[in-house]
Amino acid sequence: MNPLQLVVRADVAEALAQHRPVVALESTLIAHGLPWPLNLETALVAEKAVRDEGVVAATIAILAGAPTVGLSETELRDLAQQENVIKASRRDLAATIIRQQTAATTVAATMTLAHRAGIRLIATGGIGGAHRDTHPWDISADLTELARTSVTVVCAGAKSILDIPRTLEILETQGVPVIGYGTNEFPAFFVHSSGEAVTARVDTPAQAAALMHAHWSLGGGGIVLAQPLEEHATLDPNEFMHALSEAERLALGVGVRGKELTPFLLNRLAEITEGQTLRANHLLVIANARLAAQVAREYARFPL
């Protein structure tokens, strides 16, 4: 096949052709973010949350070299159970395609493929960002992708394992609006709030869609739309920081770095917190998928 050709499944292609709303979902959480069978359950329930809003769900991954927009349930199950699935960011897409490999796509890679397909919203758990002092030069490609690709990423903020003030400074430098949904403070994934201010606040899906339309009318790139996980489901900030320090110590001890660092830390945090982080991750992914669908439905009201 032509390496630049996307496999866009029929329901997704039909919706896009008719200017009906579609939400893309990233697949790294399936292959690398959550253990079996919670990973498959989360993926299926997140897609259902999108469909329950009358919106088409399109999970994105690379299957045997084919960048695919809209995985079937069988393909989701296979991705959730396979071992040694590649974690592909934007830089990895071409190599993965020409080698005919199977890969789960990060936020950055999902944004790239979604935009090529014509999808303007993706849902995820949390965006990547700048890591803390132990790995100060480890900065996620999600941030540069947000600077150049006109897609809105609905999330629960940046992953709690990151240096959130630095992450927000980088986004500001790149001209990326960081919008709080129903909040004036940037959420921190497992933790309800980072204490850092957002760029602006919206309180309805219609307001979020209007902001997207205005930003892109001005030639802007990506947008972060961040809603906090409900407070009863989040972790206590002090307990979380204690667990994170222990996970970082373990990572430093075995020399984990680069794209393997985030899944390593998330796995260790799940162990240290006795599954609290897994439960929170499951809930926030579903909540973000639902919000993304609501915003996509409102954005579809704007003319092309």
The structure tokens listed for 279 are: 């439960």
Phi, psi dihedrals of residue 209, rounded to the nearest 5°: -65, -40
Residue 159 is among the residues annotated as catalytic for this protein:
yes
- pLDDT number for residue 12: 98
> Would you say 119 and 239 are in contact if contact means Cβ atoms under 8 Å apart?
no
Contact between 32 and 104 under an 8 Å Cβ cutoff? The reply is yes
Pairing verdict, β 56-63 and 66-69: antiparallel
Angle (nearest 5°) at CA 216 between 210 and 217? 85
The residue length of the chain stands at 304
Fold that domain 7-299 belongs to in CATH:
Indigoidine synthase fold (3.40.1790)
- pTM (2 d.p.): 0.93
Question: Per the omega criterion (within 30 degrees of 0), is the bond before 187 cis?
Answer: no
Q: Which of 26, 47, 145, 248 is catalytic?
A: 26
The per-residue pLDDT for 135 is: 58
Q: Which residue in the list 53, 145, 159, 259 is annotated as catalytic?
A: 159
Dig out the tokens for 139 from the structure.
Answer: 């900065």
Domain ranges of the chain: 7-299
Please report the pLDDT score of residue 45 as a whole number.
Answer: 98
Which pLDDT does position 52 carry in this prediction?
A: 98
Per-residue pLDDT of the chain (304 residues; tens, 9 = 90+): 454 689 999 999 999 999 999 999 999 999 998 999 999 999 999 999 999 999 999 999 999 999 999 999 999 999 999 988 999 999 999 999 999 999 999 999 999 999 999 999 999 999 999 987 655 677 899 999 999 999 999 999 998 888 999 999 999 999 999 999 999 999 999 899 999 999 999 999 999 999 999 999 999 999 999 999 998 888 888 888 888 889 888 988 888 877 677 788 888 988 999 989 999 999 999 999 999 999 999 999 999 8
**Cα–Cα distance between 228 and 221 in angstroms, integer?**
23
The answer to whether the CB of 276 falls within 8 A of the CB of 160 is no
Residue 259: active-site member: no
Residues near 64 by Cβ (< 8 Å), separated by ≥ 6? Answer: 100, 101, 102
